Amino acid sequence: MGMPIKIRDNYKSLSGSEKTAVIFLALGEERGSRLMERLDDDEIRMVSRAMAGLGNVTSNLVEALLRTFTERFANTGSVVGSYDSTERMLSRFLPDDRVSEIMGEIRGPAGRTMWEKMSNVNEGVLATYLSGEYPQTAAVILSRMRSEHAAKVLPMLPPALRLEVIERMIQIESVQREVLLDIESILHNEFMANYARTHGADTHERMADIFNRIDRDTLSEIFVDLDALLPESTQRIRQLMFTFEDLLRLDRVSLQTVIRRCDTGQLAIALKGAEAMQRDHFLSVMSERARMILQDEIENMGPVRMRDVHDAQAEIVQVAKALADDGAIVIPQSGEADAVVY
């Protein structure tokens, strides 16, 4: 049984590609396909991915989005973005094999992209492979992988190569299509993967996301070298990073929201290895019953590996960041003035 179609009625929640997808759907298959045909392959892939996951967009949201258009578009009513509607539109101007390629890429586990499949390769195997590649090639591959997996691979690279790869990842700009196709071809043959997807995130934001998932000792070592090499970039990355310790700066209600969204077992592991002050702060915002249950789980779980603690803490940080992205909580900017004390 499939998941229920989500209802979209918040204009601010739409990304740029989702707004574009709504416009194409509102135009209808014939007109939308004619306009979509003018996009390049990367743009088609981006809009198609957004369209397929769009769900049900209310008429009010369509009207808000198209208010500068004609009265016809303002009264379009609701539109539904789905895999079927996306595939029908693509079929109007692309050959069947291209439609199958794009739809296969965005349909999820059955059609993962090459870069997503790379993120499933054992980190040790991948680190060994990248150690034999040019630093620029390694930087391109790591920049396109999932951040959590890149964070496991990066520490395994030889220190000198690791620093050079990080430098190139920070400074990387758009990769020439020919170069990317060459890399894709090599990876396709060696890891039996399929296609590429692009990431438009700021390189410093991406490095901050990766660094958030690296253990503290390795990260301290990286920052020592990186600070000497690229001090301005290092400072920007530090500012963009959000760590488990930063959760202490959340207001009481926001922290309660984060705790409710967390898996209790992971929260217990994260707090088991946390400093007493951090653990007490989390417990202080919980109800008496919830606090007693969590304390009991922490006390009875026995010894835990610090790697498991760091992984659990990283997972909680990702929950907080997702809530912030959705507007459910507000993460204050770094600084002692923002610290919350009870």
Which of 111, 130, 145 represents a domain boundary (last residue)?
A: 111
Q: Are residues 254 and 234 in the same domain?
A: no
Q: Are residues 229 and 135 in the same domain?
A: yes
Distance in angstroms (rounded) separating the CA atoms of residues 240 and 52 = 31
The parent domain of residue 324 ranges over 244-338
In CATH, what number is assigned to the domain containing residue 210?
A: 1.10.220.30
The pLDDT of residue 117 is: 66
Q: Are residues 235 and 122 in the same domain?
A: yes
Distance in angstroms (rounded) separating the CA atoms of residues 269 and 306 = 9
First to last CA, the chain: 47
Cα dihedral 237, 240, 245, 246 in deg (nearest 10):
160
Distance in angstroms (rounded) separating the CA atoms of residues 159 and 229 = 14
Surface-to-core class of residue 174, CB atoms within 10 Å of its CB (0-12 exposed, 13-18 middle, 19+ buried): exposed
Q: Are residues 101 and 154 in the same domain?
A: no
Q: Are residues 234 and 145 in the same domain?
A: yes
Mean model confidence pLDDT for the chain: 75
Q: Are residues 121 and 159 in the same domain?
A: yes
Q: Are residues 227 and 302 in the same domain?
A: no
User: What total of structural domains would you count in the chain?
Assistant: 3
Q: Are residues 59 and 84 in the same domain?
A: yes
- Could you tell me if residue 1 is inside a domain? no
Q: Which amino acid is at 122?
A: N
The pLDDT of residue 202 is: 55
Who's near 126: CB < 8 A, 6+ residues apart? 118, 153
The tally of CA atoms less than 13 A away on the side-chain side of residue 109 is: 0
At which residue do the structure tokens 């991915």 appear?
A: 49
Read off the pLDDT of residues 249-304 as tens digits, 9 standing for 90 and up: 888 888 999 999 898 888 999 999 888 898 999 999 998 888 888 888 888 888 88
The pLDDT of residue 109 is: 34
Q: Are residues 221 and 304 in the same domain?
A: no
Who's near 254: CB < 8 A, 6+ residues apart? 323, 329, 330, 331
- Asked if 131 and 124 touch (Cβ cutoff 8 Å), the reply is no
Q: Are residues 141 and 169 in the same domain?
A: yes
- Asked if 193 and 187 touch (Cβ cutoff 8 Å), the reply is yes
The pLDDT of residue 155 is: 92
Q: Are residues 224 and 276 in the same domain?
A: no
- Could you tell me if residue 98 is inside a domain? yes
DSSP single-letter state for residue 3? P
Which of 73, 96, 111 represents a domain boundary (last residue)?
A: 111
Q: Are residues 127 and 198 in the same domain?
A: yes
- Asked if 191 and 121 touch (Cβ cutoff 8 Å), the reply is yes
pLDDT per 10-residue tile (average), the chain, 342 residues: 57 73 80 74 76 80 66 48 68 71 52 62 79 88 85 91 92 73 69 36 73 81 90 81 83 90 90 90 90 88 84 86 78 50 40
Q: How many residues does the chain have?
A: 342
At which residue do the structure tokens 């396909």 appear?
A: 33
- Could you tell me if residue 2 is inside a domain? no
Exposure pattern of 299-324 as b/e (b: 16+ CB <10 Å)? Answer: eeeeeeeeeebbbbbbbbbbbbbebb
- Could you tell me if residue 126 is inside a domain? yes
Which of 84, 111, 138 represents a domain boundary (last residue)?
A: 111
Residues forming beta bridges with residue 80, ordered by sequence position: 56
- Could you tell me if residue 35 is inside a domain? yes
